Structure 1
Amino acid sequence: MLSGETGMVLLRSCLRVASPCWSCSDPKTNILRGPPSISFDILSTRVEQRRSTHGPPASVSLKQRLPPNSWDSHMHVVEPERFPVSPTAVYNPTAHTLHEALVFESELGVENLVFVQPSVYGTDNSCLLDALRRLGPSRGRAVVVLDPATVKPETLDEWHTLGVRGLRINIQSVGKVMDKFELEETLLQHAELARPRNWIIEIYLPLKMVSMVELILPRLGVRICIDHFGSPDLASWDDDGSAFNPYNLQGFSSLISLLRAGRTYVKMSAPYRLSKDHQMRDLQAMAREFLSVAPNRVIYATDWPHTRFSRVDISPFTECCLELCATKPGLAERLFRRNTEEMLGVVSD
């Protein structure tokens, strides 16, 4: 576990302004460029002095500092004109093409992509599969959504050849409510399909439900991945001067237990969906625990194109992830590359 002194340095430094265009006279700048409630402080001169003394040279860009062959393990391609969204979609998405995705990832410094089926397409994976087919399995993987009762084994085999390596269960996006018995049945049905192919089951659910997953996982015989920090409810932390303790969150101890047990991954992604704190101290506290107990099973992702949010810049969060890895050699390569490759069966050097 990281020391208190190191943790405080990281808290002060993780979200520095990463581009000269953000250096303005306004004392507060919304560097994630999302809704007004999600704004982050421009860092102090003291932090900049620390970076100039101990950090990489200012001329070394974020793109140059990411490990080679990094993966964005959670992003979406949405093309409503070519692939109409589901009639039951809970929002109307704008188009975000594979070309736009590749431009975004290239500017960030990421080479490889994991396409994740967004809720607006339901169980129709046509858009995702089209993007995966065009990108190719050497640079791409995918996680699909399906109906276990209707999908055919030969379809799954064809998808495997394309690079599909996981099944997604999305409870959070659509606001679905499941009790333990329904969740167990859903997970068991998906596990029957995932197990023979060594696929993962990726789950997007509220953190408070993770305790149910902890009870069910031993019966599944598959590995799982928990989306977006476990999707914690962080609204109750009022920042009264006390340090944020993630173990006070319902379900967090269960998530840590799952990580320790060795069959669970967690994605550090979509911070703007979760934290209202300018410095994201709540998410940083969670991230430090993840990286301490399971450095081989924590995954970085951008959640591009940040559906239902506008003008998001993920660079400060990416900087933060690099900072959190700075104290341990090889940890950045684990977070940005190796863990994803091991989780999704990518053969690399």
Structure 2
Amino acid sequence: MTRPCPGPRAATSKPSWTPPPGSTDCHMHIFGPYHRYPLSPGRGYTPPEASIGMYLDMLSTIGLSRTVVVQPSIYGTDNAVTLDAVEAMGLDRARAVVVVDESFGLAALKAMAPRGACGVRFNAVSGNGTPLEQLEALGEKLATLGWHLQLYAHSAEMVALESVLARLPCPLVVDHMGGVQSTEGGVENPGFKALLRLLERGAWAKLCGYRSSTGAPYADVAGMARAMIAAAPERCVWGTDWPHPSLLRDEDVPDDGVLLDCLGEWAPAEAQRQAILVDNPARLYGFGPPAR
């Protein structure tokens, strides 16, 4: 039996600053409705439903307009919920990162591209997805398509996989600050140093920091975030990770307005915010110029 987890917060605070037009939430998930999208029996947790409408209410509150829907581990390699969410929100404002395995040929991957898919995720933390042993083989397929490979791993795995990740023929996007915890040494952690080396060699990274923190207001991850931005200001993006799945307690679920305020502290200059929220996501995910 899988363990339950909390759902998203009922209310979101407004951030203290206004994001630029075309700002993108580069990491979120949709759960349900479960009668239409049944959960995978191999999942590690069971969340409450988290609908597109609930998400868009949150997104409007924090002032963002674009979205990257990331396939969650609770659905395995059945990407219907993720691709349907992109269709519902529209390709002018949404893209998808899917989960596949070696059974998916190029034709199957190409068929998802018109529906907004532009990357594949490996989740070595939650499981129920693609085995890490398939990284290199899948990387070759993604290079053919012009897609990226997104990795969520523990910090020790970042060290073990560094040489493999460095030679991938497709773009690499690293989730959740490389899985490094502030309690594990933060910027001095070997996994974080491996992440910085990968960034310096051309990798991308998501500034989703609350999972690396001991809790709100998340000041303990500021040093890591600033180091990542300094290493690759043109290849850092940001995401909420809404609805913040697999946490243990209701009080652990972040307020997305507070999370955006953290980004404002990590990147205080307007040019930095424009790059992280608008320009970098547009290049990585293929968005057009924002409406003004």
Shift of 1:307: 1.1
Residue 79 of structure 2: aligned partner: 125
| Distance in structure 2 (CA, Å) of the matches to 1:282 and 1:86 | 35
- Unmatched tracts of structure 1, length 5 or more: 1-31, 34-60, 238-245
The answer to whether the Cα contact below 8 Å between 1:200 and 1:344 also exists between their aligned partners in 2 is: no
Shift of 1:269: 1.1
1:66 lines up with 2:14 in the alignment = no
SS of residue in 1 equivalent to 2:279: helix
| Distance in structure 2 (CA, Å) of the matches to 1:338 and 1:125 | 27
SS of residue in 2 equivalent to 1:255: helix
1:234 lines up with 2:186 in the alignment = no
1:103-146 per-position Cα deviation (integer Å, ceiling 9, x unaligned): 11111111111000000000010111111112221111110001
Q: Which residue, out of 75, 86, 107, partners 1:154?
A: 107
SS of residue in 2 equivalent to 1:201: strand
1:348 lines up with 2:289 in the alignment = yes
Q: Residues 99-178 of structure 1 correspond to what in structure 2 (within 5 A)?
A: 99-148=53-102, 150-174=103-127
The one-letter amino acid paired with 1:85 is L
SS of residue in 2 equivalent to 1:335: helix
Residue 315 of structure 1: aligned partner: 257
The answer to whether the Cα contact below 8 Å between 2:199 and 2:231 also exists between their aligned partners in 1 is: yes
Please give the TM-score of this superposition, normalised by the length of structure 2.
0.87
The one-letter amino acid paired with 1:97 is S
Give the direction of change, closer, same or farther, for the CA distance of 1:132–1:63 in structure 2 (3 Å limit): farther
1:38-97 per-position Cα deviation (integer Å, ceiling 9, x unaligned): xxxxxxxxxxxxxxxxxxxxxxx6386111111000000010221001011111121111
| Distance in structure 2 (CA, Å) of the matches to 1:282 and 1:63 | 20
1:92 lines up with 2:33 in the alignment = no
Give the direction of change, closer, same or farther, for the CA distance of 1:134–1:277 in structure 2 (3 Å limit): closer
SS of residue in 1 equivalent to 2:206: strand
Shift of 1:168: 0.4
| Distance in structure 2 (CA, Å) of the matches to 1:313 and 1:337 | 22
| Distance in structure 2 (CA, Å) of the matches to 1:278 and 1:108 | 17
Residue 244 of structure 2: aligned partner: 306
Residue 285 of structure 1: aligned partner: 223
SS of residue in 1 equivalent to 2:30: coil
The answer to whether the Cα contact below 8 Å between 1:89 and 1:122 also exists between their aligned partners in 2 is: yes
Residue 215 of structure 1: aligned partner: 163
How many residues were matched structurally? 275
Q: Which residue, out of 194, 198, 207, partners 1:254?
A: 194
Q: Residues 329-348 of structure 1 correspond to what in structure 2 (within 5 A)?
A: 329-348=270-289
The answer to whether the Cα contact below 8 Å between 1:63 and 1:109 also exists between their aligned partners in 2 is: no
Please give the TM-score of this superposition, normalised by the length of structure 1.
0.73
Q: Residues 160-199 of structure 1 correspond to what in structure 2 (within 5 A)?
A: 160-174=113-127, 183=132, 185-199=133-147
Q: Identity percentage over the alignment? A: 30
Whose Rg is larger? Answer: 1
SS of residue in 2 equivalent to 1:85: coil
| Distance in structure 1 (CA, Å) of the matches to 2:273 and 2:241 | 19
